[in-house]
Amino acid sequence: MCGRFTLSDPNDAMAALFRAQPDNDLPPVPQYNVCPTQSVPVVTAQAGGRRLQAMRWGFVPAWAKRLTEGPLIINARAETVAEKPAFREAIRARRCLLPVSGFYEWQAGPDGARLPWYFTRSDGQPMVFAALWQPWGGSNTVAMVTTAAGEGMAGVHDREPVILEPADWPLWLGEAGHGAARLMRASQAVLQAHRVGVAVNSNRAAGPELIAKIDA
């Protein structure tokens, strides 16, 4: 689930929002169809303060011999993330924030058609996913954390990303002590959605027309 998202906020605005030092190799914006394996902006907590840096979307376990070994891991389930060998250390020590502008989800339609919906925050603010990261092969990889869907996803999908509010960011990043597990829950009525055209079903599609509303 949540296999595509958008990035439209300028990198300097994101750095200011998170009070983070931006790296020089952040992905360009806007992007209207960010796909797994692409570079995405991630906020981490460092000894000298927060850092906004680029990571590969697709978590690679520490034991992997090759970047493409095993399945592509783009998310981790909140219910089992602390138990899975691939994530156990990362969920304790390498939690991060993944800011996006919105994300796509697909609903099963007649005759097996995949009908895309575009989700954003109802207050117009950037959306911030709970995520975890793993260094591998001289670079860093990241996966978002997902949970059972709340009311905002009703009828479209049974899972959704864990969406964090600004007050939760220090706890998820480990800056405010322990207890981050309680944040892994469905969003509290912050989502709004509209149907978009099937052009986004292609991972090669691009452009702002992908998020244009169509009649459902």
Each residue's pLDDT tens digit, 183-216: 999 987 789 999 999 999 999 999 999 999 998 7
**Could you read off the pLDDT tens digit of each residue along the chain, which spans 216 residues?**
689 999 999 999 999 999 999 999 999 999 999 999 999 999 999 988 999 999 999 999 999 999 888 899 999 999 999 999 999 999 999 999 999 999 999 998 888 888 999 999 999 999 999 999 999 999 999 999 999 999 888 789 999 999 999 999 999 999 998 999 999 999 877 899 999 999 999 999 999 999 999 987
Asked whether residue 198 is assigned to any structural domain, the reply reads yes
Give bridge partners of residue 4 from the DSSP assignment.
104
pLDDT at 1 (0 to 100): 67
pLDDT at 215 (0 to 100): 87
Asked whether residue 54 is assigned to any structural domain, the reply reads yes
Asked whether residue 83 is assigned to any structural domain, the reply reads yes
**CATH number of the domain to which 69 belongs:** 3.90.1680.10
CA 108 to chain centre: 22
Q: How many domains does the chain have?
A: 1
Asked whether residue 216 is assigned to any structural domain, the reply reads no
**Cα distance between residue 82 and residue 107, in whole Å:** 29
Asked whether residue 124 is assigned to any structural domain, the reply reads yes
Domain that holds residue 46: 4-211
**Cα distance between residue 26 and residue 82, in whole Å:** 29
Name which of 119, 104, 113 is nearest 205 in CA terms. Answer: 104
- Neighbour count for residue 11 (Cβ, 10 Å): 18
Asked whether residue 52 is assigned to any structural domain, the reply reads yes
